[in-house]
């Protein structure tokens, strides 16, 4: 895994894009158990891959893309590597300025994303491709299990996935704590305003090559997150 993160670092440098945040993968108890991991896989969210309401998400035309519904948080302060482990022991809620619903779009350079091991996923920047940031939600006022229990994700009006539960479900604040420990271990400063995609609350939906555009809609509690996805040539 150490070598995989070195490959990831070189990949990010070679791509030359600005980094706007972080993503976590394989972060649920069951995913870590299946993959023999003690912590999630971490990757960077790159500036060209960040979309917000009203924007069409562009994805590669020739390869499969997986869509996941997630909770994202925005850091409310800078966190230095030497401070990270101490801050992980206090309420992570004090470290974020806002929480949001979001979609993540996952692409693997190595083949089918569901057939890769954790080392390959890490080297490939956690398979991060794009993030679509939705409305702000009050994470102190909702139950993540209740949100996931109400969740359905539709593609062009067809139900394709529901929310995860129990050991398959990610706790967004526990995920943030794990990122803080990762930052300390790798001597990384986490910057105020950074976006953190904390992990999927739904089973991934695989979008095969061949479509031109589609509409992705997540319905949760009494709200919804909606975006349009378009294939690049």
Summarised one tens digit per residue, pLDDT across range 111-143 is 766 778 999 999 999 999 999 999 999 998 999
Say if residue 31's pLDDT is above 90. yes
The CATH number given to 2-231 is 3.90.850.10
The 3-state DSSP class for residue 85 equals helix
Give the predicted TM-score (pTM) of the model: 0.94
Residue spans of beta strands (DSSP E) within 138-174: 152-155, 158-162
Q: What is the pLDDT of residue 25?
A: 95
d(CA 124, CA 111): 11
Q: What is the pLDDT of residue 89?
A: 64
In the chain, where the domains are located: 2-231
Say if residue 92's pLDDT is above 80. no
> What does the DSSP 8-state code read for residue 49?
G
The 3-state DSSP class for residue 3 equals helix
Q: What is the pLDDT of residues 157-190, one digit of tens each?
A: 999 999 999 999 999 999 999 999 999 999 999 9
């Amino acid at each position: 895994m150490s070598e995989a993160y070195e490959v990831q670092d070189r990949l990010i440098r070679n791509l030359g894009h600005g980094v706007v945040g972080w993503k976590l993968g394989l972060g649920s108890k069951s995913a870590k158990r299946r993959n023999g991991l003690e912590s999630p896989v971490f990757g960077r969210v790159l500036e060209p891959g960040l979309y917000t309401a009203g924007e069409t998400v562009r994805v590669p035309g020739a390869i499969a893309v997986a869509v996941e519904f997630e909770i994202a948080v925005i850091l409310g302060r800078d966190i230095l590597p030497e401070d990270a482990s101490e801050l992980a022991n206090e309420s992570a809620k004090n470290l974020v300025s806002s929480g949001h619903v979001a979609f993540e779009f996952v692409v693997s350079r190595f083949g089918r994303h569901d057939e890769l091991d954790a080392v390959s996923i890490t080297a490939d920047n956690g398979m991060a491709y794009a993030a679509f940031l939705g409305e702000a939600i009050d994470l102190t006022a909702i139950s993540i299990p209740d949100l996931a229990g109400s969740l359905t994700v539709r593609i062009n009006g067809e139900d394709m996935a529901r929310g995860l539960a129990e050991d398959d479900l990610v706790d967004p604040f526990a995920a943030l704590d794990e990122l803080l420990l990762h930052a300390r271990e790798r001597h990384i400063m986490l910057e105020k305003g950074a976006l953190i995609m904390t992990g999927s609350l739904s089973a991934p939906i695989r979008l095969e090559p061949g479509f031109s555009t589609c509409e992705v809609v997540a319905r949760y509690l009494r709200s919804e997150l909606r975006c349009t996805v378009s294939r690049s040539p």
